[in-house]
Amino acid sequence: MTTRILIVDDNMMMRQILSAQLGTMGYTNISKAVNGVDALNQLQEAHAKNDPFEIILLDWSMPEMDGFNFLKKCRADKRFEHTAILMIAAEGEQQNIVRALEAGATSYLVKPFAPEVFEEKIKKILQCLKPPASSGQTAHA
């Protein structure tokens, strides 16, 4: 499948797990970033090449720029405001999950998770992906 996906996690084991699970689901067009700064650079580069990411899998706690600040920057940028962002984080406090969803995360998954749950989240997000002109708001999956 050609869906372009960016994995953003400072931990290489999580990047490997997510990449492998996406691979078993048939997604092979995957890029990886180690923090928010790296991810923003890759987003801008992909946009400049007219080959944007459709889904971002985003960790919360990372050095340099954490997932929450990356999320706010993305949503403040017209170019990325409709890119689906699935936060996948060990941070499981309800108030922080709500904060992330209010800041524009499309959905949220708490680590550790079963592969079936991850697959279901990705499927729901893909169903919710709509062309930017069809909606002024980010859908929650």
Partner 1 sequence: MLEFNYEFTQSVEELIQASVTSTISTLFKIPIDVCSGMGKVGSSDNYFCCGEFVQDDTKATLLFVFDRALIKKLTGIIFPADSVNSPGVCEATAAEIVNIVSNQLKTHLNVHGYKLHLGQPCMLDRAQAALKERPLIHMAFSLKNDVAMGVDFYLRSA
Site residues for partner 1 per CB under 8 A: 11-14, 16-17, 20, 61, 63, 89-93, 111-114
- Give me the least distance between CB of 6 and partner 1, in Å please: 19
Q: Which is nearer to partner 1, 21 or 31 (CB)?
A: 21
Q: Which is nearer to partner 1, 73 or 111 (CB)?
A: 111
Instruction: Read off the amino acid at residue 107.
Output: S
| Alpha carbon distance 11, 84 (integer Å) | 21
The 84-89 sheet, strands edge to edge: 30-33, 5-8, 55-58, 84-89, 107-110
- Give me the least distance between CB of 119 and partner 1, in Å please: 14
Q: Which is nearer to partner 1, 14 or 122 (CB)?
A: 14
Burial class (CB in 10 A: 0-12, 13-18, 19+), 132: exposed
